[in-house]
Amino acid sequence: MALAGIRVIELAGLVPVPLCGMILADFGAKVVRIDRTGTATSIDVLARGKRSVALNLKKPEGVEVLKQLCSQSDVLVEPFRKGLLSKFGRKGEKPYAPLNVVADFAGGGVMCAMGIMLALYERMQSGKGQVIDASMVEGAAYCCSWLWKSQHMGMWNQQRGENVLDTGAPFYETYKTSDGKYMAVGALEPQFYEQLVKGLGLDSAKLAPQMSRSDWPELKRIFTEAFAARSQEQWSKIFDGTDACVTPVLSFEEALSHPHNQERGSFITDEKGHVSPRPAPVLSRTPATVSLERNPEVGEHTELVLTEYGFTKEQINMLLSAGIIECRRSKSNL
């Protein structure tokens, strides 16, 4: 795989570090997660393909072990991070947080992984390493560059919930169907908007112009009534194969079984039957081959990893006796 031979040390912590580590592992890197001693279980649900070393970093000896591991590794990922407040929301409502996708994952984990890969590539030219400062605040802002740059284009200069892409426009909204489900509409371009109106059985000549902001509330009322007249399945069949940019809002289970995702193999299942998205992007020659084994127990690979990094049996036993490390045998599946 693309990162075969790359060694990564990940200090256990909350997102975005675990996601960054999983991305690197998915694409072939050997990722060792440093867990705290005295921790019974890990809350890292993004531990796919990693190994665990339980190490007491509060003691100097533990710090020395970490330094030795790092001296033989290519990457160290640590979890110290800042916070972010979201100001997104609908008109008349208080801002709500868009889960933690924007900051933790996109602005933090993915940006960190990208920075690591850039630094590894540059190292091929200079032979030198460097520090990647992956600030979630700056990463989230960078991901939202289009928002910053489009404020003076008439796309993002109104109050919250009154802009084209934040549910202010009737053609960029979600609508409830007769069976209590929803359809997502993103018919921004004029040609797509015409397909939307046609699919709804409406006459565009009798409707206000698409970009007439003062008429948006009335257009939204008309579209709301139209979508409420049929079920999600019926609307899906009507708009399937069209360029109206109208799609059903699916649950996790429905997304998993959707024909598009089935054909592309967009989801993978581990040995316990847990489903998750496959790594992206897909490389044509060296694609990611993810581990389908269970997540590691805390300290499960301490002895194995230290041995690989040159520690002798005697050194490992001394560290174990001093409480610097913990070794935990994996439980039998029988």
Among residues 26, 35, 74, 104, which one is catalytic? 104
Tokens of 85: 């407040």
Tokens of 271: 């040995």
Tell me, what DSSP letter sits at residue 285? S
Dihedral pair phi/psi, residue 7, rounded to 5°: -105, 130
Q: Give the helix ranges, DSSP H, for the chain.
A: 17-26, 60-71, 111-126, 136-143, 145-149, 190-199, 216-227, 232-239, 252-257, 259-264, 302-308, 313-321
**Which is nearest to 117 in space by CA: 8, 266, 276, 277?**
8
Q: Which residue has the tokens 């960190």?
A: 112
Q: Does 104 participate in catalysis according to the annotation?
A: yes
How many angstroms separate the CA atoms of 21 and 273, rounded?
Answer: 22
The letter for the amino acid at 37 is T
How many angstroms separate the CA atoms of 90 and 150, rounded?
Answer: 19
Query: Own/partner pairs for 164-173, CB < 8 Å, 24+ apart?
Result: 164/188, 166/88, 166/90, 167/90, 167/91, 168/91, 168/216, 169/216, 170/216, 170/219, 170/220, 170/222, 170/223, 171/196, 171/210, 171/219, 171/223, 173/220, 173/223
How many angstroms separate the CA atoms of 324 and 117, rounded?
Answer: 32
Q: Is 131 left (phi over 0), alpha (psi -120 to 50) or beta?
A: beta
How many angstroms separate the CA atoms of 194 and 234, rounded?
Answer: 19
The set of catalytic residues is: 104
